Amino acid sequence: MSMDAQPSNDPQLDALEQQIAELQDQLMQAQKMSTVGAVASSITHEFNNILTTVINYTKMGLRHKDVATREKCFNKILASGQRAAKITTGMLSYSRSKGNKYEAFDLVQIVEDVLVLVEKDLQMHRVKLQTDYFSRPFANVNISQLQQVLLNLIINGRQAMDGGGRMFVSVRTNEEQGMAEIAVRDCGTGIPADKLPKIFDPFFSTKDADEQGQGGTGLGLALCRDVIESHKGRIRVESTPGKGTTFTLKLPLVAEPGLTTGSNSGPFQKAG
């Protein structure tokens, strides 16, 4: 599938390519909603916790008149409100269709926005997340599409660790190749060597749908590949059965907007 077909001199061919493009857009939206469904219950659970915190500390603040207790209550309510706003902003950013708009954007920020959406889901499935940001590269991306790819890979990795485990997400700059790299690594079941060459084929799947009905269609990784290739990038996979799988997204580097000198690489790490 080509996500950026060029017009030809054949009107009939152009019409068919337009129909294909529209069907691809519909498939992308369907896949996006399916992925949202995978984290919807955990996000709802987290909002319920936030509301419980707000209600309880509001009641405490009304009962106690001393300044210290009320200040503590206000701080807890403020922190809960900020957390809720962060989740809502991330969900709106992911759900909002941005068409074919591409812009130079900080890849670490895109990763962080996605992790806000999956943080509770990973906790509920006993998955410990570690992030390593070795630099803050910029790439020319469709933000919504790249978020969809990352969310798909993270949910796939979580599903591969049915009993829990560790997941690693990293961002780095490969100056030699002129590429920014985002890697998602799980410690799950892995993919057999004979199936590895086929995982990006449409409708090929190594798993069944989970209890929420997510996965098993074989469309997710095919769409991930198409999105990354439409960004003039590459997606690579390494896997060892019984030890886990690593997906690496490679995207062409661009300069940080407004930056004319210096480098946008350097040590920047965070462990969770």
pLDDT beyond 80 at 23: no
pLDDT beyond 70 at 219: no
What is the pLDDT at residue 39? 65
Asked whether 217 and 101 are in contact (CB, 8 A), the reply is no
pLDDT tens track for 39-63: 666 777 678 878 888 998 899 999 9
What is the pLDDT at residue 263? 45
**122 vs 100, which has greater pLDDT?**
122
The dotted CATH code for 102-254 is 3.30.565.10
pLDDT tens track for 222-265: 888 988 999 999 999 999 999 999 999 999 999 988 765 444 44
What is the pLDDT at residue 205? 60
pLDDT tens track for 116-125: 888 888 998 9
Q: What is the mean pLDDT of residues 266-270?
A: 42
**268 vs 199, which has greater pLDDT?**
199
